[in-house]
Amino acid sequence: MATFEVEHVVPSGGGGSSEVENLAWACGRCNRSKSDRVELTDPETGATVTVFDPRAMRWRDHFAWRGHELVGRTPLGGALVEALGLNSARRVAIRLDEQVLGRFPPPDDG
């Protein structure tokens, strides 16, 4: 069973509020991987980018599925895929299993 944690998009230690506009559900691995970072490095360009904000940004603008792997459409997307290890072998294996169950790819939720 998957469990989720409340993630501060802008970390509370960095002045982020605990209002709902700054909170998102995240799995524990993503929450720990992001930690208190507000900027990431795009592995392809070396550019410093902000962390994806699921409250203010549209997922489809920054990410796309390529088979069972998640890819960035933008430096911001690519940086998050790399920083959170979103194409780890375990995660790709889970997507393969989810596909068998009709749950992958997920519906486009914006």
- Is residue 30 at the binding interface for Zn ion, with CB under 5 A as the rule? yes
SS (H, E, C) the chain: CCCEEEEECCCHHHCCCCCHHHEEEEEHHHHHHHCCCCEEECCCCCCEEECCCCCCCCHHHHEEEECCEEEECCHHHHHHHHHCCCCCHHHHHHHHHHHHCCCCCCCCCC
Among 10, 23, 27, 92, the residue binding Zn ion under the rule CB under 5 A is: 27
The nearest distance, CB 104 to Zn ion, in angstroms, is 15
- Is residue 83 at the binding interface for Zn ion, with CB under 5 A as the rule? no
Only one of the segments 20-28, 50-58, 60-68, 71-79 lies at the binding site for Zn ion (rule: CB under 5 A); that segment is 20-28
Q: Which is nearer to Zn ion, 4 or 99 (CB)?
A: 4
Residue nearest to Zn ion as judged by C-beta position = 30
Only one of the segments 21-29, 72-80, 92-100, 102-110 lies at the binding site for Zn ion (rule: CB under 5 A); that segment is 21-29
Interacting residue ranges for Zn ion, rule: CB under 5 A: 27, 30
